[in-house]
A = this chain, B = another copy of it.
């Protein structure tokens, strides 16, 4: 999944200029990227309206008014589409905790950022609930997934910054275990817990791990 380094040409991909060139294809690539984003937005709408089971290659093609072959060429398979869709949502969420406003993003003390991370994750995954549940079954949230590794590294960094003692990496996994998509679903649905209880539990857990209680 390596992408070429950014160049003025590559940047041109991102514009919506009308026309041109054969051979060179920044313009074509820009169109391709635009089309990809458009298909992902159509797919996201389908999931938002009817749940993840409505997300089929056929349905995306129909809703986007393109041929089914176009959808297959772009994403390979339904799991591939699901993966791309989660990846798209993840990038928005990652931007929020890596470079967004405090207390989730930089600018707040590490303990505050740790405390904010749990509720933000719970809310983000709740807003895209069906998607995360479906993706979890298929391809996502295995521990090797880039999104999981990024979250681990982020929490380990904040734990260190907050002056926590101990094994940062294991503590980061412990925190992420609390936020596991299927566990959260179980607690909310089968155990009837409230979102407030889960958020309070997160704050208590962070305080205890950091030693700030």
Interface residues of A (CB under 8 A from B): 142-144, 166-167, 169-171, 173-174, 177-178, 180, 182-183, 186-187, 190-191, 197-198, 200-201, 204-205, 208-209, 211, 213
Contact = CB atoms under 8 A, between A and B. Distances in A.
Given A143-B183, A187-B173, A190-B143, A167 B209 contact: no
Contacts of A170: 178, 187, 197-198, 201, 204-205
B167 A200 contact: yes
Nearest to A213: B211
B173 A174 contact: no
How many copies the complex holds: the figure is: 2
Contact of A174 (B167, B186, B205): B205
9 contacts: A144-B186, A166-B201, A166-B204, A167-B200, A167-B201, A167-B204, A177-B183, A208-B209, A208-B211
Given A170-B178, A177-B177, A180-B180, 14 more contacts: A142-B182, A143-B182, A143-B183, A143-B186, A166-B208, A167-B200, A167-B204, A169-B191, A174-B174, A174-B177, A177-B178, A208-B209, A208-B211, A211-B213
